[in-house]
């Protein structure tokens, strides 16, 4: 890292740091050279301040913000034809304070509005940092507007939110007379710029670039009708028109999107494309949108221009049903996100469009959805900061349509170029968009030609008017309650035993992935695991109407044992029915017994059972081995909203119900391994003895964030390539592979595949449809935790998918955190069945250590 700050204060560097510029910065710089002072390169936001206005304190806080972020202290120079960003040791910051307290109250708002517009469009000098301005328009001792303006060379909308959050936190400390202690940014923008340039130079974007060239091949220069021809000398002005979306329309739209398995963004985009088709008469519609460009968690708080643009091309025809357009839009958005790493500036250099006096299709019409996280109110010391609609510094495109979530509801608004459009036309665009949202939410099966559409007043007879449907009319949205039908049917005749037996055998075969499993073979010896066990008992409940608790299943995890409990006779002989097996009775489902109590130190698996069965075969004599868990299919897990230490304390309560006092030996895989270490810490703090903790692939929650940027990218690539190898080995399907990744889940592609009948159900992120919410909640709590004060000894097993190249700590971040020995062993690849070499490796090393007592040495 090239941090030029320490302890939130600027360093005195012997010389400025220099980095190459990103593609986006180089593009912005060229625009600065062609059009000095172009206001379209400004980003403007504003807040209402309510509370005692202290300009000096605010200025100190903003100075510290500038000191924290190198890009705000950066000047741009050209060297050998290349743009270079040079980080200065210090950049003096001053707030512009405009005192309006002397003006009559009726005039203050009008003055604030006018000055706000002037400030938003005022040019920057890109040679002089900081490329950040704060103007305070003070209307009273306890009331003001704070205007924040940054230049695209140094930031974006997301970065502005980071700046305001940090400003508020610093003000909190300063107002109390304390020294602010914000965590240092995990990296600086110059580090990202260096990585991007190296990635592009190495050809990293070649495949993505080819996708976009093919996707946009043959693109026409799509443009919407304007009220007047572009002027010879554009004024570069911008303006915004907005309106609140009626609550009923917003609710109906959200419900319709969910019903179709679509995101609110995709639903809104498809609706907007339908409007553009009806208005322009074009069938090849192109709309751009922006993504944050911050796929890595570490980039979320880094200030700089990360935002990237995607081009979304959709085919519209009068006979197209909206539902079909939505499905196409979902696929288009999903593909665009998958290929979103290419800088948009690279694309615009490669795509040739017909000459035009307009901006052109790639800069013509844009659509975004901004949720409330972008506009969340906050406090800065004694002052409340309340966001309210921004003012346009200048129109970057012909039309920019937004759906913005505010505390009072959703707002539809459009930033536009007044050189091209009258306000009345833009107001028609926004109102027509809201009307179409209501129409398609009420009936997604309608064709585009049948949707309500009335051309703007004064529009010439043309494509838009010719396409007007005779059925076009205002639509009243009826947000009716959905009737829930009772699916229960009258009692059916008792099924034949052979049918029930065949159904059970088929479920068992699917769970263990074995064509002819012996009835007495253990589920875990056949390659089963906890997730498959949960899936099996849930499907048994669906098929037989009898609940088979996991705890009881683990007591006898065989096909014969299941048949006995279900009262099913297998071919091997009759089985007596078990009365009342549909209820867990008084047994505690949180406890999974593997071997009986003994005199030796018990081994406790945290949510991990399959390996315990293998361990018990060789080392279970006179040793209590059991698993503990907080999840059972069909039961609430109760960990939502709890911190990781609080969840660990819940597990300790279960452990003490079985073994009230230590010593203990703990075992866990992945996130459950991290949980086992936290449980051990709390037990030791309470005075109990924990002889050792054995974990598998347990990453310290902060370790990935501590890696440098290159290693983080390599770890990510390693994970993807390893999972792809599993697909090629037929250990998982390609659909399951996609389901592991947030991007595929968020794009709506998997839900689209379900609706098209390509797959039965969308896979979950964790691979388990029954405890997916539990695991995601647990992982979220882990990621928010930073374990410290953990004592050894610890045994860490590294699976073959774990990165092992130089620069990766083989303890996965626990070195320096664990006080004591950490024994690290590499595991061979797993192979389902009784001879799984991965499980055998754990049993060999872990078992020997607990048997010899080496853990206590």
- pLDDT for position 637: 74
* Residue 553: closest CA among 476, 633, 468: 633
Domains and CATH numbers, the chain: 5-196 (3.30.559.10), 208-228+235-351+358-376+390-458 (3.30.559.30), 505-587 (1.10.1200.10), 588-706+769-857 (3.40.50.1820)
- pLDDT for position 14: 41
- pLDDT for position 586: 47
Omega into 793 within 30° of 0, i.e. cis? yes
- pLDDT for position 70: 93
Euclidean distance between CA atoms 563 and 577, whole angstroms: 9
Q: Over 448-508, what HEC string results?
A: HHHCCCCCCCCCCCCHHHHCCCCCCCCCCCCCCCCCCCCCCCCCCCCCCHHHHHHHHHHHH
Euclidean distance between CA atoms 597 and 620, whole angstroms: 9
Euclidean distance between CA atoms 139 and 159, whole angstroms: 28
Report whether 278 contacts 305 (CB < 8 A): no
How wide is the angle at C-alpha 393 spanned by C-alphas 391 and 395, nearest 5°?
105
> How big is the chain, counted in residues?
857
- pLDDT for position 473: 35
Instruction: Indicate if the alpha-carbon torsion angle 728, 729, 733, 737 is positive or negative.
Output: negative
Low-confidence ranges of the chain (pLDDT < 50): 1-15, 460-493, 573-586, 854-857
Report whether 175 contacts 51 (CB < 8 A): no
Packed helices 772-783 and 671-685: angle between N→C axes, nearest 10 degrees: 60
Euclidean distance between CA atoms 396 and 236, whole angstroms: 8
Report whether 756 contacts 342 (CB < 8 A): no
């Amino acid at each position: 890292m090239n941090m030029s700050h320490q302890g939130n204060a600027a360093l005195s560097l012997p010389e400025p740091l220099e980095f190459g510029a990103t593609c986006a910065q180089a593009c912005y710089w060229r625009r600065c050279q062609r059009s000095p002072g172009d206001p379209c390169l400004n980003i403007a936001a504003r807040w209402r301040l309510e509370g005692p206005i202290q300009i000096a304190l605010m200025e100190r806080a903003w100075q510290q913000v500038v000191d924290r972020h190198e890009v705000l202290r950066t000047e741009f120079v050209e060297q050998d034809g290349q743009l270079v960003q040079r980080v200065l040791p210090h950049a003096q910051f001053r707030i512009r304070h405009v005192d309006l307290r002397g003006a009559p109250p009726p005039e203050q708002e009008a003055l604030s509005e006018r000055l706000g517009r002037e400030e938003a469009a005022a040019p920057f000098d890109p040679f002089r940092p900081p490329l950040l301005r704060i103007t305070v328009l003070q209307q009273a001792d306890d009331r003001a507007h704070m205007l924040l303006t940054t230049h695209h060379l140094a930031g974006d909308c997301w970065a502005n939110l980071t700046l305001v959050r940090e400003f508020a936190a610093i003000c909190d400390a300063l107002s109390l007379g304390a020294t602010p202690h914000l965590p240092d940014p995990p990296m600086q923008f110059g580090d990202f710029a260096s990585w991007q340039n190296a990635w592009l130079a190495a050809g990293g974007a070649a495949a993505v670039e080819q996708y976009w060239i093919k996707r946009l091949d043959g693109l026409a220069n799509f443009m919407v009708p304007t009220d007047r021809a572009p002027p010879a000398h554009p004024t570069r002005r911008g303006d915004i028109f907005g309106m609140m979306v009626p609550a009923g329309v917003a609710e109906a739209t959200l419900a319709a999107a969910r019903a179709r398995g679509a995101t609110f963004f995709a639903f809104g985009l498809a609706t907007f494309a339908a409007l553009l088709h009806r208005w322009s008469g074009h069938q090849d519609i192109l709309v751009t949108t922006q993504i944050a460009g911050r796929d890595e968690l570490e980039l979320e708080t880094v200030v700089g221009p990360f935002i990237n643009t995607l081009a979304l091309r959709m085919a519209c025809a009068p006979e197209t049903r909206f539902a079909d357009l939505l499905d196409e839009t979902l696929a288009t958005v999903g593909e665009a996100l998958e290929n979103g790493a290419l800088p948009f500036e690279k694309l615009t250099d490669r795509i040739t469009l017909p000459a035009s006096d307009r901006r052109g299709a790639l800069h013509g019409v844009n659509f975004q959805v901004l949720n409330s996280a972008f506009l969340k109110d906050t406090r800065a010391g004694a002052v409340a900061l309340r966001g309210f609609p921004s003012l346009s510094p200048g129109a970057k495109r012909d039309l920019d349509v937004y759906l913005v979530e505010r505390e009072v509801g959703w707002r539809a608004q459009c930033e536009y170029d007044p050189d091209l459009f009258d306000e009345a036309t833009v107001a028609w665009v926004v109102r027509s968009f809201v009307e179409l949202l209501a129409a398609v939410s009420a009936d997604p099966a309608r064709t585009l030609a049948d949707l309500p559409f009335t051309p703007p007043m004064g529009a010439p007879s043309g494509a838009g008017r010719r396409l007007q449907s005779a059925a076009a009319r205002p639509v009243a949205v009826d947000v009716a309650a959905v009737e829930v039908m009772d699916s229960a049917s009258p009692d059916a005749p008792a099924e034949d035993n052979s049918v029930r037996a065949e159904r059970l055998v088929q479920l068992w075969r699917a769970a263990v992935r074995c064509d002819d499993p012996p009835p007495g073979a253990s589920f875990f010896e056949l390659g089963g695991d906890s997730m498959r066990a949960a899936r099996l008992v849930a499907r048994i409940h669906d098929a037989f109407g009898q609940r088979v608790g996991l705890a009881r299943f683990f007591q006898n995890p065989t096909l014969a044992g299941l048949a006995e409990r279900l009262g099913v006779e297998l071919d091997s002989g009759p089985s007596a029915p078990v009365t009342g097996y549909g209820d867990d009775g008084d047994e505690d489902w949180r406890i999974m017994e593997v071997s009986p109590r003994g005199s030796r130190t018990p081994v406790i698996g945290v949510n991990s059972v399959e390996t315990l069965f293998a361990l018990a075969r060789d080392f279970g004599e006179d040793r209590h081995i059991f698993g503990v868990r907080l999840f059972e299919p069909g039961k609430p897990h109760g960990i939502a909203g709890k911190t990781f230490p609080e969840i660990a304390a819940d597990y300790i309560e279960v452990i003490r119900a079985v073994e009230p006092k230590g010593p203990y030996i703990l075992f866990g895989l992945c996130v459950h391994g991290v949980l086992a270490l936290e449980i051990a810490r709390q037990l030791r703090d309470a005075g109990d003895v924990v002889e050792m903790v054995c974990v598998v692939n347990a990453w310290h929650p902060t370790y990935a964030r501590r890696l440098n940027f290159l290693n983080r990218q390599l770890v990510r690539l390693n994970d993807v390539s390893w999972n792809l190898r599993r697909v090629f080995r037929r250990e998982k399907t390609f659909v399951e592979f996609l389901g592991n990744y947030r991007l595929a889940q968020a794009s709506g592609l998997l839900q689209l595949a379900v609706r098209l009948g390509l797959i039965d159900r969308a896979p979950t992120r964790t691979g388990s449809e029954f405890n997916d919410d539990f695991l995601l909640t647990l992982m979220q709590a882990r990621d928010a935790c930073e374990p410290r004060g953990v004592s050894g000894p610890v045994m860490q097993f590294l699976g073959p998918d774990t990165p092992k190249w130089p620069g990766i700590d083989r303890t996965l971040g626990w070195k320096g955190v664990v006080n004591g020995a950490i024994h690290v062993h590499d595991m061979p690849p797993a192979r389902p069945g009784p001879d799984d070499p991965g499980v055998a490796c754990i049993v060999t090393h872990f078992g020997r250590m607990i048997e010899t007592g080496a853990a206590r040495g």
